[in-house]
Homo-oligomer: A and B are copies of this chain.
């Protein structure tokens, strides 16, 4: 039966995307070569025309995720000259991404990729570290411009910002979507913004200020 044939570049995209969706719906355990194939309208063995193994499909999924994260970063950065506004948008973009693809936080936690391929965990780690250091660089710049407080290391502020995302992802994931993640994150963002823009210049860190 002549199913439409497509170039391998297209197919790889389709298959990786199908895999990402399937992981989002069924989890990594529910991801089988057969299901990927069915989702694309093909037969299991067809996968091997475009990937050497199932693991390679997973690698492609990681490429997808990496691409999405980078594109979020770009979009946020081009949206405004104000660091605070950029971070706020970046936060919202990431939340939106996680809502659309719950697979992403799951893969980030490295589940299911252990004995087989520790390299993949390393890769996710590098990705996160890169993300963090980009944010940190932005924070440092904003500190020099006095947009953010500078009595706290940029790395800590960056980590605090990034730290808003995983808990939200966890609650979203565990609640099966019933938790109102967006407003929660917005409220926490407000706190973050407040503390990040405190214009103090202390030296003693034992700051417990009543004013």
Contact = CB atoms under 8 A, between A and B. Distances in A.
Contact of A110 (B160, B173, B193): B173
A52 B112 CA distance: 24
A1 interface: no
Nearest to A29: B112
A209 B176 CA distance: 38
A42 interface: no
Interface string A166-177: 110111011110
Given A114-B30, A159-B167, A174 B121 contact: yes
B110 A27 contact: yes
A110 B27 CA distance: 8
A108 interface: yes
Contact of A195 (B110, B118, B176, B191): B191
Interface string A119-154: 001101100100000000000000000000000110
Residue among A115, A125, A163, A187 with the highest chain B CB neighbour number at 10 A: A163
Nearest to A168: B163
B209 A121 contact: no
Given A152-B191, A163-B188, 6 more contacts: A29-B29, A29-B112, A109-B170, A112-B112, A128-B171, A190-B205
